Amino acid sequence: MQIPIETALGERLGKAFEAQGLPATLGATARSTRPDLAPYQCNGAMAAAKQAGKPPREIAQAVADAVSGDPLIESVEIAGPGFINLTPSAKALEDRANALAEDDRAGARIVDEARTVVIDFGGPNVAKPMHVGHLRSSIIGDSLQRLFRFRGDQVIGDVHLGDWGLQMGQIITELAREKPDLPYFDKDFEGPYPDESPVTIEELETIYPRASQACKANEARMDEARMATQALQEGRPGYIALWRHFLEVSKAALKRDFAALDVHFDLWKGESDVQDRIRPMVADLVERDIATEDKGAIVIPVAREDDKKELPPFILLKSDGAALYTTTDLATILDRSETLNPDLILYVVDKRQSLHFEQVFRAAAKSGFAEDISFEHLAYGTMNGPDGKPFKTRAGGVLKLADLLDRAHRRAVARMEEAGIASDMEKAEYEAVADKVALAAIKFADLSHDRATDYIFDLDRFMTFEGKTGPYLLYAAVRVKSLMRKAEDAGVEPGEIRIKEKAEADLLYALDAFDRASATAYEKRAPNFLCDHAYTLAQAFSGFYSACPIVTAEDAETRASRLALAQLTLTQLNLVLGLIGLEAPDRM
């Protein structure tokens, strides 16, 4: 059987519903909320009662009669107002188990039609260090790109660097004040400009906050930054040369940060990559009367009559003529449409920008150059500190990502020492394990929460290694790996799977749910369903592991069967861990 048990049951019941002139979708079957009664249930008869004009139990009875005797089904019972309780046959379980064991995808199917999907996530800014605010976008976006790829889509992950806005002008003017003798500020300088950046990434990271604060405090200073931004966008050679240096040193630092997270991108594009498209795009939109002038700015009105709220116009060019992130976002859509031809673009961006994306999507629709593309803003909530307020350092500043990872690493080491884990390892392996544990704690905690809601980041709790945490999942995987080594030493080989014990059946049910979990996570763009599945699976395995001896089982067939089950679990666990961006070490 190559499809999940619940899917197979659903199809059988669907036919029975159809035979009564009812929609096949009513046959939808899922794991039971009353496992004491049966493993699976179908609620379709109750939903059908209204349209069929018959009592639900009568419909349920007809369905039950139609499917009883099916080799897939051990028993079918009707309960309450019309629940159909189903127990699959032992043969169905074993067929499915052996099919799963032979499948290198461990039961997860792929989409019927592959699409080209751009995922826009990460979104770091030049000159600003990655901080905790970038963590969610990076982790969620990465999990989604892994998941979409796994489901068969062609995925293009783009980091979409913030490298072309006002912050560049702020930094340029700040540096001009601090180091006015640099050739970049001399209008008469004829080059060539130095190859080396005049500032290191560390210096850049301190310049930006100074610049930002100065501009916020002083209107004239802000105007200076605006003018510099515009000059940069118009191509002033000194500014461009300087900006390239900023870009270069920033990218190097960002790549280190993303590598530490084990997050990777297909494209390292940014706002500036569409600079050449901006003028022609604006001219075209004005030409076609889609964009108009309003209070000195060029805008696209995006409000509609039936809007509940007042939607401000989409600003394409500021009254001083400079482009802003709205401009580059729209131009980026045009660019992606022409160069990548995607079916879908996903934006993994903070939920506070939902109004902005509403505007961008409407502007894109009015512009008419993205008619075949679907857009979704996958908004996520804020990461808060234990006090429930946005995460800050003790001093009240923003915590740099690198510092957060370092803190998590030290915490992992402390916990490992406490538990006496991996004490026999060489330093390098030990450190690598601690890194994996730290990342597992952070990523699992983030992904297991609902994407849209805020959540409390509490490293102590994520790092407890007990219960529903990333480290527990790594432990579960490592324990299976250890078991496989033991089996090999003992000469046990995996064989035909037989389901005899309750713990074996429970493990199989958990394994069989992988397809459903990955499909739901995919459809809802919600990695927390993957996390739930990973945890349920790890727990089911632990139950099986403690209830059913494997290498030490009495007869050879049982050993072979249980080892195959363990092997299958490991395969699936590795897959699902991979989808949430985790990797289990071989031992720990």
Q: How far is the CB of 100 from RNA (least distance, A)?
A: 20
Residue 577 burial (CB < 10 Å; 0-12/13-18/19+)?
buried
Strands (E), 268-323: 292-294, 297-300, 314-317
Judged by beta carbon, residue 53 or residue 191, the one nearer RNA is 53
Output the smallest distance, CB 186 to RNA, in A: 26
Least Å distance, CB 459 to RNA, is: 12
Task: Report how far residue 498's alpha carbon sits from residue 561's, in angstroms, rounded to the nearest whole number.
Answer: 6
Q: Least distance in Å: CB of 283 to RNA? A: 18
CB 252 within 8 A of CB 201: yes
Q: Which is nearer to RNA, 7 or 382 (CB)?
A: 382
Closest contact distance (angstroms) between CB of 110 and RNA is: 19
> By C-beta, is 256 or 352 nearer to RNA?
352
Beta bridge partners of 314: 300
CA distances from 195 to 48, 465, 568 (A): 73, 49, 55
CB of 148 to RNA, least distance (A): 19
The length of the chain, given as a count of residues: 588
Q: How far is the CB of 547 from RNA (least distance, A)?
A: 7
Residues 523-527: contacts with CB within 8 Å, 24+ apart? Answer: 525/144, 525/346, 525/376, 525/378, 525/451, 526/450, 526/451, 527/140, 527/143, 527/144, 527/147, 527/447, 527/451, 527/579, 527/580
**What angle (nearest 5°) sits at the alpha carbon of residue 93, between those of residues 87 and 99?**
150
For residue 514, what are the contacts with CB-CB under 8 A and spacing of at least 6? 106, 107, 108, 533, 537, 572, 575, 576
> Which C-beta is closer to RNA: that of 37 or that of 267?
37
- Which residue, 155 or 416, has its beta carbon nearer to RNA? 416
Q: For residues 336 and 479, which CB has a smaller minimum distance to RNA in the complex?
A: 479
Q: What whole-number distance in Å separates Cα of residue 439 and Cα of residue 454?
A: 20
Measured from the CB atom, is 98 or 212 closer to RNA?
212
